[in-house]
Amino acid sequence: MDGGCCGPGYASPAEAIKAPREKLLYTIAIYTGTGIQKPDYLATVDADPDSPTYSEVIHRLEMPGIGDELHHMGWNACSSCHDDGSMSRKYLLVPGVRSNNIHVVDTATDPRAPRLHKVIDGAEIKAKTNLSGPHTVHCLGSEIIISFLGDAKGEAPGGYLHLNKEFEIVGRWEASMGDIPFSYDFWYQPRHNVMVSSEWAAPNTFMPGFDLEEVGYLKYGRRLHFWDFEKRAPIETMYLGEDGLIPLEVKFLHDPDSTHGFCGAALSTNVIHFWKSEAGKWEWEKIIDVANEPHPEWPIPVPGVMSAILVSMDDKYLYLNNWLHGDMRQYDITDPHNPKLTGQVWMGGLLGKAPEVNGVKVAGGPQMFQLSLDGKRLYVTTSLFSTWDNQFYPEIRTQGGVMVMIDCDVENGGMKINPDFIVDFGKEPNGPSRCHETRYPGGDCTSDIWL
């Protein structure tokens, strides 16, 4: 059990902030798209500064097959089943977005050396639910929902897979997809009976690589969708237009009573703020706009490509990345309508501001990141998606990915790269691999939902 009552998680966001410091990180490492014929793996990184193996990969759990493209992952249980003593945050679900296989990993028996518990076969998922391209994993009390980006043939809009706590396929979670054209990320606030979902593109569109013309052909998303959570059906769509090109990650504030949330639109490099008005109507506004930057080798100014956002557990700060520019930013969102830029650091990117960090050449730019529960440490990795990596950062094939730790000032705002921590995935035993999403055994700032 990881704190508080009788089940997993924490009684409240305030309790989560008081949790012990993370000592281990689980990070996806991929060989898919590198030319190295080895399985993708789950890397365990030692994050205990008092340990002799601090800032090193101490274990690698290889997947059974080659070419999964491990991407995003999630826990079997979170604070939504904090009152259920029969549940524990024991299993990490690690889907392969290309293979469709969902790897259920036991992290509790030996947290330093996770082991494979079960594989939910991708072919079985396709046959039973007509879904492919698994993405976001959220626990729903003792059950699990996973967003899928396509149907069995790789065409949009996909849908949602429902698993029970034994990791058996229940079927599709949603009662209807309505008029939703694309799927991607989702988050829910049970006290308001709402789920919000965002849009990327069909797997057949994004998997081969990025083609700007396909945005013009409307093959990429530009909408947010609001669902009646209990009825499992979409009830309202926000069309974001040019301000919301490719709206990827979507997050509500952690406060379960709040309706405020944020979405990062990757291509337009904007943050969209949404909330429910006093009149009970969903509203939205653009609150952060990152300008494109000129580049001598590009025919057009380079967009930031804001592929991820994250909100600190105390709901004070929003973090975002600009994958192509190469910077991470921290904004004070105490007033969600008027964010204030309070911190910025550079690592990699195409603008040449920080080609090296702590003596390691950075291939790629800041991409996925995970924040400690107390908000003081931000772990950042550099790979987005294998074909997109190869397109925009071809050197990542030979250099591999990097994990950096950023120290965050939670009192006054501010960020700086920690000089004592760097994980160079270019030096892995089987050759350079790339690192993507990160989770901690005790939960993190993108896992827990409160009922």
Rounded distance between C-alpha atoms, residue 258 and residue 236, angstroms: 19
User: What average pLDDT score do residues 388-408 get?
Assistant: 98
pLDDT digits (tens, 9 = 90+) for 193-211: 999 999 999 999 999 999 9
Output the pLDDT for position 3.
47
The b/e string for 73-82 (b: 16+ C-beta within 10 A; e otherwise) is bbbbbbbbbb
Residue 207 domain-assigned?
A: yes
Structure tokens at 256: 């379960």
Rounded distance between C-alpha atoms, residue 359 and residue 343, angstroms: 22
Look at the block and give the residue holding tokens 């993190």.
444
Residue 233 domain-assigned?
A: yes
Q: What is the CA radius of gyration of the chain?
A: 20
Rounded distance between C-alpha atoms, residue 72 and residue 265, angstroms: 18
User: What average pLDDT score do residues 150-164 get?
Assistant: 98
Residue 373 domain-assigned?
A: yes
The yes-or-no verdict on residue 39 having pLDDT over 80 is yes
Q: What is the CATH number of the domain that holds 386?
A: 2.130.10.10
Q: In 3D, which of 193, 161, 199 has the Cα closest to residue 180?
A: 199
Number of domains in the chain: 1
Rounded distance between C-alpha atoms, residue 423 and residue 45, angstroms: 8
In which domain, by residue range, is 385 found? Answer: 13-439
Rounded distance between C-alpha atoms, residue 5 and residue 369, angstroms: 29
pTM attached to this predicted model? 0.97
Q: Is 81 helix (H, G, I), strand (E, B) or coil?
A: helix
Residue 30 domain-assigned?
A: yes
User: What average pLDDT score do residues 270-294 get?
Assistant: 97
Residue 343 domain-assigned?
A: yes
Residue 4 domain-assigned?
A: no
Pairing mode, strands 415-424 and 402-408? antiparallel
User: What average pLDDT score do residues 320-330 get?
Assistant: 98
The yes-or-no verdict on residue 4 having pLDDT over 80 is no
Residue 60 domain-assigned?
A: yes
Confidence of residue 268 (pLDDT cuts 50, 70, 90): very high
Q: In 3D, which of 436, 327, 431, 328 has the Cα closest to residue 385?
A: 436
Cβ atoms within 10 Å of 280's Cβ, excluding its own: 7
Structure tokens at 416: 């700086």
The yes-or-no verdict on residue 330 having pLDDT over 90 is yes
Structure tokens at 77: 């249980």
Rounded distance between C-alpha atoms, residue 361 and residue 365, angstroms: 11
Output the pLDDT for position 5.
64
The yes-or-no verdict on residue 381 having pLDDT over 90 is yes
User: What average pLDDT score do residues 213-237 get?
Assistant: 97
Chain centroid to CA 247: 13
Rounded distance between C-alpha atoms, residue 368 and residue 68, angstroms: 18
Cβ atoms within 10 Å of 296's Cβ, excluding its own: 4
pLDDT digits (tens, 9 = 90+) for 358-377: 999 999 999 999 999 999 99
Amino acid identity for residue 190 in this structure:
P
305 Rama class: left (phi>0) / alpha (psi -120 to 50) / beta: left
pLDDT digits (tens, 9 = 90+) for 109-122: 999 999 999 999 99
Rounded distance between C-alpha atoms, residue 263 and residue 269, angstroms: 10
Residues with Cβ < 8 Å from 102, sequence gap 6 or more? 93, 94, 95, 96, 119, 120, 122, 125, 134, 146, 167
CA dihedral 435, 441, 446, 450 (to 10 degrees): 170
Structure tokens at 448: 């827990």
Share of the chain above pLDDT 70, in %: 99
Rounded distance between C-alpha atoms, residue 230 and residue 423, angstroms: 43
pLDDT digits (tens, 9 = 90+) for 166-175: 999 999 999 9
Structure tokens at 7: 């089940």
The yes-or-no verdict on residue 270 having pLDDT over 60 is yes
Asked whether 370 and 440 are in contact (CB, 8 A), the reply is yes
E strands, 256-399, in order: 261-265, 270-276, 282-289, 309-311, 317-322, 327-332, 340-346, 356-357, 360-361, 369-371, 377-381
Across-strand partners of 262? 251, 273
Look at the block and give the residue holding tokens 């990184």.
45
Residues with Cβ < 8 Å from 180, sequence gap 6 or more? 157, 197, 199, 223, 225, 234, 237
pLDDT digits (tens, 9 = 90+) for 42-93: 999 999 999 999 999 999 999 999 999 999 999 999 999 999 999 999 999 9
Pairing mode, strands 223-228 and 402-408? unpaired
Rounded distance between C-alpha atoms, residue 231 and residue 214, angstroms: 34
CA dihedral 57, 58, 63, 64 (to 10 degrees): 140
Residue 361 domain-assigned?
A: yes
Half-sphere exposure (CA, 13 Å, Cβ side) for 384? 30
The yes-or-no verdict on residue 26 having pLDDT over 80 is yes
